[in-house]
Structure 1
Amino acid sequence: MKTEIRPGIYWVGAIDWDLRDFHGYTTPKGSTYNAYLIVDEKVALVDTVKEPFKDELLARISEIVDPEKIDYLIVNHLERDHFGSFAGVMEVAKNAQVYSGTMGRKGIVDVYGERWPVTAVKTGSTLSLGKKTLRFIETPMMHWPDSMMTYVEEDKVLLSSDAFGQHVASSERFDRDASFDPVAEAKTYYANILMPFSHLIQSLLSKVPELNLQPEIIAPDHGVIWTDPGKIIEAYGRWSRFEARPRVVIAYDTMWGSTEKMAHLLAEGVMDEGGVEVKFFNIRKSTNSEIISEIQDAKAVLLGSATLNNGIFPPVGGFLYYLKGLRPQNKIAMGFGSFGWMGGAVKEITARLKETDMEVLDGLEIRYPATKAQVEQCRETGRMIARKVKGGQ
């Protein structure tokens, strides 16, 4: 079913109810691939959908106009979930002209050669459809080199590509109608996809007045459309600055339960101090994306591992690799763990944490079984972490 966002601007995307993984980011609620049709004296399609959903896209377009009458295909982003149906659409819209950013044009030519002429646009370039004007904003590395946004000036609609999205399959198209919390879903999306590009997002947000963008609607390429854009723009400001809440995330894996006991003792210590929230995860029983979402605005991260072959337990090693790639900042981090006859896990956790931009404390490692003094040491370490989170010593 077609959805009109503003007069002459339609959502014509596809709903992927079955998607459960996106680049290793767990997506238990599926996703949408949003594409937008703008009908004026000329007709423009902004983005396509993942290739298996091409017929769904064309069917929605056909409710509004004959797809052969598309004059322009705007490519905001070359990732296959938005670009996968490009060739299929172009075979139908045989006379369509293609517009993309400088890097977008290069990518299209790399894949398809000169099969179709592609016009490269830069920030500030415009395209008139008649009464509606499209203005383009290049946003390289947010999150691919080719990324850009398209702004419909007269309607104040920002077609924002992957920025401001959420991975949720939903029958609702707008934030005001959502049966879920769109900001919470956007936070999970940001933490697992856009966190490494936070400095670029800060730069873009600071340039919004200079770019004369005053969006009344933000329409991303995934999830619901924002009719209250101030709410998500403000949230992106907080997330990109790594503003942290008084929260400690404790994530661990255990072999025979000793490291798990340490995790509980650390949590008890944090809670004893008061005023600091604890989020607690067994890495093998939780998803990386769930844990990262909580780390996004936490002040401290404690990672625990049993020792296996003088090193980290494999699930913890995998999580650390995932965490490092997202480059969290403005956080306290510490490793902990226990061992039976020879340690090594905590030393390795500490070394890997130091490859991030977090403040890394000396780790806590205990040989099983823990003595009464070591039990108290775990609790006191939790109290110390809580005091640091609250700004004390």
Structure 2
Amino acid sequence: MKKHVKSNVYWVGQNDWELRRFPGYEYSTYRGTRYNSFIIQEEKTVLIDTVITSFSSDFVKNLAKEIDLSSIDYIICTQAEEDHSGALPELMSLIPDTPIYCTENGRDVLKGNYQQDWNFVTIKGEERLSIGNGKELVLVDFPLSTYPDTMFCYMSIDNILFSNVLFGQHFSSELLFNDLVVQYDLSFESIKYYANLLSPLSNVVTKKINDCIKRNIPLDMICPSHGILWRNNNLQIVTNYLMWANNYHENQVTIIYDTMYKGTRAIAQSIAEGIYVADPHVNIKLLNASICNRNDIITEIFRSKGVLVGSPCMNHCILPSISLILDIAKGLKFKNKKAAAFGSCGLKDLSIGIVDKKLKEAGFDIVMDPISFKCSLTDEALEASRNYGWLFWDLLSRND
């Protein structure tokens, strides 16, 4: 069922309520996701994006109920990945000559994925496409390092930005717009999406947003390829992106650990107690990396000004859950995060050196030497851990 967006623009996408991991098993989607696709019905009829392959038959069948498929004049593919283009093979089997506007990278990906040489019209730089009634689609090639096939699409007069990967969330809802959904859910999914997927692109994102601000482009609505559409106070998400891209942190410390015989957990808890004594107003998160979802952990790291990471020693190494989190953080290139390592062991203490090294490799600013204890924890060891937490927060407060 198509839903009205604005003027002659309609949503024709698909909610995926059951999805819990995407793509593959990489990203947790507690609230499912939504694949956004749009029909513009001016003098020209334009389809912007489709949906993932698993919903392609439903998508084409439902679209055919709403419009005559042969009336589609242009298809805009803002990104060639399967979750945005998956219904193209079934759709194009019915309207094979319809031009598909995409970037050169997008064309190459579409050809590679579907082994079809459709009627591609490639976009270089910025090009305009008249759709009648004085309106234009401004198509902008905007390659990103992790999404080299990305294209923006801006609709004049109605002032709608079809922003593809930017400003989205993995969020399934029958409600289209940001002012209609639960605000906490929207806020959480938006910052999680940015922290886990877009933070390495912060410099490029900031530059593009500032370029648009300088050009004073009117913006009434933002329609990303996933999740909720922004209409009421729509610039709030743009402001948030500029804030998140600028070495973002809140008044928070996140303590991440894994444990075998509860020793490392006891150290983590004592460190938290010490931070609380130093400042009872700081938000402290204790996260067991073997239990907590890794995307949630990454989101909390992104929010934090300080991060402490602890692991016991196993097989001359650290526990895999901790290694994985630090490897992910390395790829995300977080900035301006203070950190320190801690751990426990039986006889041979190797873990804290490995954690300390991996924190440095991930770009964290190490502010204290690691702390570690052997065998059963004494009261003195727990007190030393509390002092360690107190000193860690003291250093952060003085350097903030």
Using the size of structure 1 for normalisation, the TM-score is 0.95
Instruction: Mark the CA change 1:285 to 1:63 in structure 2 (over 3 Å): closer, same or farther.
Output: same
* Partner residue in 1 for 2:103: 101
Instruction: Quote the residue 2:193 is aligned against.
Output: 189
Q: Identical aligned pairs, as a percentage?
A: 31
Out of 219, 234, 256, the position equivalent to 2:223 is: 219
Task: For residue 392 of structure 1, report the CA deviation from its aligned partner.
Answer: 4.6
Show CA shifts across 1:16-43 (max 9, x none).
Answer: 1111111411112110111111111111
- Cα distance in 2 between the residues matched to 1:110 and 1:59: 25
Cα separation, 2, equivalents of 1:382 and 1:351: 20
CA deviations over 1:207-234 (Å, ceiling 9, x no partner): 1134543211000111110012211011
User: Aligned partners of 1:285 and 1:114: how far apart in 2?
Assistant: 44
Give 1:14's aligned residue: 14
Q: Give, as a single letter, the amino acid of the residue that structure 2 aligns with 1:126.
A: R
Residue aligning to 1:174: 177
Deviation at 1:77, TM superposition (A): 0.6
* Matched residue SS, 1:206: helix
**What is the aligned partner in structure 1 of residue 398 from structure 2?**
391
CA contact (8 A) 2:258 2:311 kept: yes
The residue aligned with 2:344 is 338
Distance 1:180 1:56, change over 3 A: farther
Which structure 1 residue ranges, 5 or more long, are not aligned? Answer: none
What SS does the aligned partner of 1:242 have?
coil
How far 1:180 moved relative to its partner? Answer: 4.8
Tell me the equivalent position of 2:204: 200
Give the alignment partner of residue 359 of structure 1, picking from 356, 365, 370. 365
Cα distance in 2 for partners of 1:213, 1:63 equals 35
Please state how far the C-alpha of 1:283 moved relative to its aligned partner: 1.2
Cα distance in 2 between the residues matched to 1:212 and 1:110: 38
Does the 8 Å contact 1:268/1:379 carry over to 2?
yes
- Superposition pairs of residues 257-276 of structure 1, within 5 angstroms: 257-274=262-279, 275-276=281-282
Equivalent pairs counted in the alignment come to 393
Q: List alignment gaps of at least 5 residues for structure 2.
A: none
Say which is worse superposed, 60-69 or 18-27, in terms of deviation.
60-69
- Measured against aligned partners, the alpha-carbon deviations of 1:157-204 in whole angstroms (never above 9, x if no partner) come to 000101111111111111111135312211111111111211111111
Residues of 2 paired with 1:189 and 1:167: CA distance? Answer: 7
Corresponding residue for residue 384 of structure 2: 377
> Take 1:32 and 1:112, find their aligned partners in 2: how far apart are those partners?
22
2:251 is aligned with what amino acid?
Answer: P
Which of 28, 49, 52 is matched with 1:50 structurally? 52
| Partner residue, 2:151 | 148
Determine if contact 1:100/1:121 at 8 Å carries over to the other structure. Answer: yes
Q: Which amino acid aligns with 2:224?
A: P
Mapping of residues 230-269 of structure 1, within 5 Å: 230-269=235-274
Residue identity in the other structure for 1:165: G
Cα distance in 2 for partners of 1:261, 1:318 equals 22
Partner letter of residue 80 of structure 2?
L
Equivalent in 323, 327, 332 of residue 317 of structure 1 = 323
Does the C-alpha gap of structure 1 residues 390 and 59 become closer, same or farther in structure 2, counting only changes over 3 Å?
farther
Contact 2:103–2:122 (CA<8 Å) still a contact in 1?
yes
Is contact 2:310–2:342 with CA below 8 Å preserved after alignment? yes
* 1:250 CA displacement: 0.7
Aligned match of 1:327: 333
Mapped contact 1:246–1:389 kept (Cα < 8 A): no
Q: Which secondary structure state, in structure 2, belongs to the residue aligned with residue 224 of structure 1? A: coil
For the aligned residue pairs, the C-alpha RMSD in angstroms reads: 1.7
Range that drifts further, 293-302 or 259-268: 293-302
Contact conserved, 1:305 with 1:313, CA < 8 A, in 2? yes
Q: Identify which range, 273-282 or 155-164, moves more after superposition.
A: 273-282
Give 2:304's aligned residue.
298
Specify whether residues 110 and 211 from structure 1 end up closer, same or farther in structure 2 by C-alpha distance, changes over 3 A only. Answer: farther
Looking at structure 1, the residues matched to 98 and 119 of structure 2 have their Cα atoms a distance apart, in angstroms, of 9
| TM-superposition CA deviations, 1:364-388 (whole Å, max 9, x none) | 2211223443322211111122123
Which amino acid letter does the alignment assign opposite residue 104 of structure 1?
A: G
Match of 1:90 in 2: 92
Match of 1:368? 375
Contact persistence 2:339–2:359 (CA under 8 A): yes
Deviates more, 1:103-112 or 1:325-334: 103-112
CA distance in 1, matches of 2:65, 2:383: 68
* Structure 1 residue 206 displacement after superposition: 1.4
